[in-house]
Structure 1
């Protein structure tokens, strides 16, 4: 096997056939490479050149001369193949050393538990062998955190199985409050386009209607200010 850089086509083809997480996608790579230019595509190939593992990495400056790297829920690979896991992470470490890496955060998209909406465990996934394997390579597990963190992605995700289900079926499987919010949004169809300054109120059709009905400009501004705040609250 061989570890090295992947080109865009190799990466895109592999992650499409072995989809793991949206952060490990060609679209994410394209955005980062154009806007931040901080992205690496690395992976493992067998003797025939077939890609066995792929990972989108990003870098950030740390202490002026060093860099911090993040694997964005990757790599994309068969985590049951411990030899492949060992090979990838060992050579990833060597690769990052050449790029002045001070610290790397890797958070593979591996399920630990599948729970219902009340938190009861429906299914447990055993990841002990994977954790032990990368620990032998010098990686340290940060523990099973809860809540939000400023240094890592959230561990607890609410997901919905969309396979072979109609919209009506999906709605029925949601909580009452969620169904209510969706129906309310559909009925009112809130749509945020852009913010306007007070100098642009004349371009609004609603302001023209208000003027025709003898509403003063000061009242128009008060109404628009209140509407603006209301829209911000909905979007957030």
Structure 2
């Protein structure tokens, strides 16, 4: 078997022939790697003109004279074919050994077992234990399977909506009743969606910092968001803002106020002529209660204008559009104005866009892997579950020692596995 280096154009053209590549395997992600200090090269393994595997290798210095190699989301290869995988791994190990690589790490985006939207393992569902066995047969060491968030690793648990062959109505009707209600609430308030450009990413940054402080997680920087546009381009990155137009909202509420006031006056006039009508008395009480709530909303609108001006930012989300899916990468919201359901407006807008543009999956991306109330990340999981997002548990991270003696020394120091 031979391993050849290919250029980024050849790599990109090969990706166009497969439907399993994810954004971490894209040539755009190579630019991010290089910006972050990695050295990147693309290789293709073949025998008698048959391609066995293609991948992007990313290197970092290790102990000054050695290297660490990482293949984001694994090789583009058939992991089910043990013989080919073993042959390829053997050739790759020798290739990397010559480059002074101590060990290789991969984290294939392959489901370990089939799970449902609640995180439960599906009875008699599919599994990929054979892939794990094949990797071990090829010489890989599997790292312990963990739950929870780890910013130094790619997500091991994700959730996504399968859009294939479904209409918007079918997708919407599969939402939980609470998610449908919250989405309709956003529509009732006429929540708008606007696409942000690079120069407006400070809106996302500000909201992300506020959300991270409230929920105690480390926020990404403004430069991180800008660099995503720089690496991926505007065709593959989209940032949406949901907001409330206060002038429009005020007109809507005042119109409802006047309509309700007219109804009250008519009901009172009727009761003067027909006292004791229980149905009308009940209607009057309901209208008066509603009128009181509208008066409070009108007063609140002025408070909102004093604070925000003409628009209230509600939520902001950044998406990656690549291959067969749209990935929800970053999201934040205005907690004080959560009653307007800004995040629901954005996701429903983008889900419909994904269907219209022919994407197969709407990937809500990372969840913690904990599915019980009170556990780490449960709220995030439950929010995504409301959209009928199915849980995916991936097979995890695998290590291939290329220089066993050096790796043993390094592992004793760093406790990698």
TM-score in terms of structure 2 length = 0.43
Partners of 1:190 and 1:9 lie apart in 2 by 36
Partners of 2:312 and 2:60 lie apart in 1 by 36
Aligned residues: 211
Q: Does 2:127 align with 1:125?
A: yes
Displacement of 1:150 in angstroms is: 3.9
Aligned to 2:191: 188
Bigger Rg, which one: 2
Aligned to 2:29: 28
Displacement of 1:183 in angstroms is: 5.3
Unmatched 5+ stretches in structure 2: 204-305, 317-331, 335-342, 344-417
- Shift in alpha-carbon separation, 1:161–1:64, aligned structure 2, 3 A: same
Q: Does 2:333 align with 1:234?
A: yes
CA contact (8 A) 1:44 1:52 kept: yes
Aligned to 2:370: none
- Shift in alpha-carbon separation, 1:184–1:104, aligned structure 2, 3 A: farther
Partners of 1:126 and 1:2 lie apart in 2 by 28
Displacement of 1:182 in angstroms is: 5.1
Partners of 2:15 and 2:143 lie apart in 1 by 27
Which is strand-richer, 1 or 2? 2
Aligned to 1:42: 43
Partners of 1:68 and 1:228 lie apart in 2 by 47
Unmatched 5+ stretches in structure 1: 197-221
Q: Does 2:10 align with 1:10?
A: yes
Using the TM superposition, name which of 156-165 and 133-142 deviates more: 133-142
Q: Does 2:72 align with 1:72?
A: yes
- Shift in alpha-carbon separation, 1:69–1:178, aligned structure 2, 3 A: farther
Displacement of 1:140 in angstroms is: 1.0
Counterpart mapping for 1:205-216 below 5 A: none
Which is helix-richer, 1 or 2? 2
Displacement of 1:158 in angstroms is: 0.5
Partners of 2:163 and 2:315 lie apart in 1 by 30
CA contact (8 A) 1:41 1:55 kept: yes
Aligned to 2:357: none
Partners of 1:89 and 1:132 lie apart in 2 by 14
Displacement of 1:61 in angstroms is: 2.5
Bigger RCO of structures 1 and 2 (CA < 8 A, at least 6 apart): 2
Aligned to 2:168: 167
